[in-house]
Amino acid sequence: MSEEVKMEIEETQENNVTIEKAPGVKQPILGFLFLGIVNLLCFNYFLQVQFFLTHCYAPNFDLYANIVYGLSNNCGQLFLIFYGSRFAFSQRIYSSCIALALILIGYPILAILNPSQPVGMVLGLILTFGLGLFNAIIQSAAFGLAGICSGKAMEYFSLGQAVCGLIPWPTILALRAIFTAVGFSTTAESDGGQAPAETATVFAGLAIAAVSTLLMVPYYKFYLSRTEAVKKAIADLDAMKHSSLVKHRPISAVIKSTLPLAMAAWFILYVTFVVFPTQATKWTPYYDGYPANFYISMMIYVFQTFDVVGRYMPVWGVTLSVRQVKIGSLARALLIPFFFLATSKLSFFANDITRIFIMAALALTNGLVLTWTMIRGPSQVHEDEKDIASYTMSFFLVNGIFCGSMTALAIDKIMAAVA
């Protein structure tokens, strides 16, 4: 924390306008865990059914959809850094949850209508633009709310985001098995459409995600917003923002104070998405016996599982200082060559066990270092600036994902050209 910010905090405390968090205030950790799950549930289900949607809409829809999603999410996050505080947390959570649920149901409805390829591509990308925009709204609101409450709230919110990644794939597998068992055909129709079992699976999976997202509205209204910790944090923030005794810094100054850890968050996600999932999708089983399409899904699930373990490690008492967070974010770049070695099919690195260890190392460090980065970020500024700091951290986080994915795409094109 800079000397300027420390002096402002001390002066504010002398004027009795900084209200310290009561030591006995219980944090609604399960509430923030659920908020973290809902935060990325729609997007994770969307990723699981991209192949189906691409087949229904137009070739390369998944490629363009990921780019559109990244752009709209980044634009939304950037807008919310400067203007998000003008809207109440409840307004942002309610509007985004309702919109995300409608968009999620819109995807399979559009697929069933089976429009022509140009129309399907355009309408699908419009839905995806909305998915990115409204996901930015709920993510920034959730990060801001967790940031002003406590490090513990941020810890469990981050854990919820990781747990969310464990839900879609088993659900899709279970739904597909259920619909197949009750008699839905697994054979595609002659006109090029999808098999009825697959269509029903996608529709049911997205409907589950939509309903779960909608549940956040009453959950926040009747539980989370009424907990003592959340009410007090919002009241304290509002009191400080409207106090004439507090020297409010411009948003640019808050961003500057948060920037070192925001860049750490950016680099953590950038390193991850330079190799994941792009390189994993190129891996083929070293040993025979895997069902079709199971191997890649299994490797992605290995990442999601160890990401959860990494994000849970702070609960077990594993702590990282600001300095350790910065070092850890940079050190993770050393893992990148191992993914390309695993893709090259060299015997040792192409071994399934070795690949699992490589994937687990990437995921474990991603979860642990990112969680502490997001916890430490808001602590670098004054109490009345923590929401802005959280929005800034959120923007750099999603921008790291976007830039890493675009770099992975560029590397893939270059390697294909020289092969």
Q: In this predicted structure, what is the pLDDT of residue 18?
A: 35
Q: One fold for both 28-246 and 249-419?
A: yes
387-397, pLDDT tens digit by residue? 999 999 999 99
Q: In this predicted structure, what is the pLDDT of residue 266?
A: 97
- In this structure, the dihedral spanned by the alpha carbons of residues 277, 391, 387 and 86, taken in order and rounded to 10 degrees, is -140
365-415, pLDDT tens digit by residue? 999 999 999 999 999 998 889 999 999 999 999 999 999 989 998 998 898
pLDDT band at 19 (very low <50, low <70, confident <90, very high): very low
pLDDT band at 350 (very low <50, low <70, confident <90, very high): confident
**What span, in angstroms and rounded, lies between the C-alpha atoms of 252 and 268?**
23
Q: In this predicted structure, what is the pLDDT of residue 293?
A: 66
Sorted by where each begins, the domain ranges of the chain are 28-246, 249-419
pTM confidence score: 0.84
Q: In this predicted structure, what is the pLDDT of residue 12?
A: 38
3-class SS of residue 257: helix
Could you say which of 1.10.600.10, 3.30.70.20, 3.30.360.10, 1.20.1250.20 is the CATH number of the domain covering 28-246?
A: 1.20.1250.20
Share of the chain above pLDDT 90, in %: 63
Q: Output b/e per residue, 340-371; b: 16+ Cβ within 10 A.
A: ebbbeeeeebbeeebbeebbbbbbbbbbbbbb
pLDDT band at 17 (very low <50, low <70, confident <90, very high): very low
pLDDT band at 13 (very low <50, low <70, confident <90, very high): very low
For residue 170, whether the previous peptide bond is cis, meaning omega lies within 30 degrees of 0, is: no
CATH number for the domain formed by residue range(s) 249-419 = 1.20.1250
294-331, pLDDT tens digit by residue? 788 888 889 999 999 999 999 899 999 999 999 999 99
**What span, in angstroms and rounded, lies between the C-alpha atoms of 132 and 146?**
21
In single-letter form, the type of residue at position 10 comes to E
Q: Give me the phi and psi of 278, to 5 degrees please.
A: -55, -50
